[in-house]
Amino acid sequence: MLKILANDGILRRIVESASAAPSIHNTQPWTFTVAADDLLQIRADPDRALWVGDPMGRALYLSCGAALFNVRTAIRMTGFNPLVWPLPHPDLPPMVIAAIQAGPGRPPTVGERELYQAIWQRHTDRGPFTAEPMSDSQRAALEQAAIAEHAALRILTKPDAATVLRLAAKASEDLADDMEYLTELQRWIAAGIKRDGIPAGALPPVPSREPAPVRADLAAATPRVVRPTASYEEFPQLAVLTTAANKVADWLRAGQALQRVLLTATSRGLSTSFLYQSIELRDMRPESAPVWPWNEHPQMVIRFGYGKETAATPRRPVDDILTRTGAAHVG
C-alpha cells in the first residue's frame, strides 16, 4: 500500500474533509485512527450516540457513512484510489465503521474536484427556500449520484411531497411530547459555545403556516430561544433516499449516497436540509409510528431548493478526533 497518511499535512486535510460531513444534530459521532501500516479507521463514538432518538444506530451509521464518502473524495484529490473495507471486519474492533488505505490511482477528474470543493461549501439550510423549481438536469444529476453509491433517490411529486410533509409534521408533534427525547436533544441544540451541536443561530425560523418543511421538535427542545417568523415555500421540493435492504451495511452505504447527493446539489447551486423525524420515530416506536407509503426502505428525506447563504456549524478540531496507533493489518 502507498503510505500517503505518513504525510501529516495530507492526513489532517483528509480528516478535516471527513469532519465537514453532516451528522445527526451535528453530533459528529466519529473518531479517526491511523495504524502503522497506513490504515485509516473510522470509528463510531458511543459517547456521541443518541440512545433515545437513535436506538438502532441508523443515524449514527448514516453520519459516519457521509464522513467516509468525504475521506474517499479527499484521497482522490491526492491522485490515489481509496481502498475501503466496510464493517464488520473480524480483525478490527466492533466500533470500527470502515477501514481505508490508498492504492495506485490516476489524477482526479473534473467531477471529483467539484465534489471535493463542495465539501467546504455545503451547509444545512433550515430557512425558507424560494419557489424556483430544480431543473431537469439537476434532478437527473441527483438521481445519478444516489445510483453511483448503490442507493436510489425518489424525487417526489407535489402530492407525494405533501404526504411526506404531513408524516414529518406528525412525527415532530409526537417527538415534541417525549420528555426523554427532548432531554437528550437539549444536549445538542443551542447549548452555548461548543464545537458541536446546532447553535441557536442555525435553528429554523418559526413558520408562518403549517405544515412547514422544518423540525418543530428542535423548537420544543429550546423554548427560551427567540426565533424570527418566516414564510416557507408552499410546495417544498422533497426527495427520499432509499435502499433495497435495511441492515447496518445499508445505512453505511446510504450515508455515502447521501453525501454524494448533497455535494452534487451544492456543486449545482442548490441548498439542502433534512426531514428525518418520521424515520426517526419509526426506529423509536415501530409499533405506533405511521406506515411509510412506499415499499423502499427510506433512509433520509431531503429538501432541495434555493436559500440564502448560511454559516457553517462548528466542527471539532482535528487533534480531538485523530489518533495514531500500532499496526493493524487488513486484507
CATH superfamily of 4-121+314-324: NADH Oxidase (3.40.109.10)
Domains 4-121+314-324 and 136-305 share a fold: yes
Instruction: Tell me the Cα Rg of the chain.
Output: 19
Beta strands in 104-252 (DSSP E): 152-155, 206-207, 229-230, 237-243
- Give residue limits of the domains in the chain: 4-121+314-324, 136-305
Give the pLDDT of residue 92.
72
Q: Contact at 8 Å (CB) between 173 and 303?
A: no
What is the pairing mode between strands 297-305 and 271-274?
antiparallel
Distant-in-sequence, close-in-space partners of 37: CB < 8 Å, separation ≥ 6 = 1, 101, 327, 328, 329
Q: What is the pLDDT along the chain (331 residues), one digit of tens a residue?
A: 457 788 889 999 999 999 999 999 999 999 999 987 688 999 999 999 999 999 999 999 999 999 999 999 999 999 999 999 987 666 777 789 999 999 999 999 999 999 999 999 999 999 999 999 999 999 999 999 999 999 999 999 999 999 999 999 999 999 999 999 999 999 999 777 788 999 988 889 999 988 899 988 888 888 888 889 999 999 999 999 999 999 999 999 999 999 999 999 999 999 999 999 999 999 999 988 788 888 899 999 999 999 988 878 899 999 999 998 865 555 5
Q: So what's the pLDDT on residue 291?
A: 85
Q: Which residue has the cell 421540493?
A: 237
pLDDT at position 326 is 62
DSSP-assigned letters across all residues of 122-164: --B--S---SPPPPHHHHHHHHHHHHHTT-EEEEPPHHHHHHH
Which own/partner pairs from 180-188 qualify as long-range (CB within 8 Å, at least 24 positions apart)? 180/52, 181/52, 181/53, 181/217, 181/284, 182/217, 182/220, 182/221, 183/52, 184/50, 184/51, 184/52, 184/53, 185/25, 185/53, 185/217, 185/218, 185/221, 186/221, 186/222, 188/25, 188/26, 188/27
Give residue 62's pLDDT.
97
- Reduce the DSSP state of residue 292 to 3 states and report it: coil
pLDDT of residue 20: 97
The correct answer on CATH 3.40.50.1820 for the domain covering 136-305 is no
DSSP annotation of 24 reads G
**pLDDT given at position 327:** 52
Residue 190, pLDDT score: 79
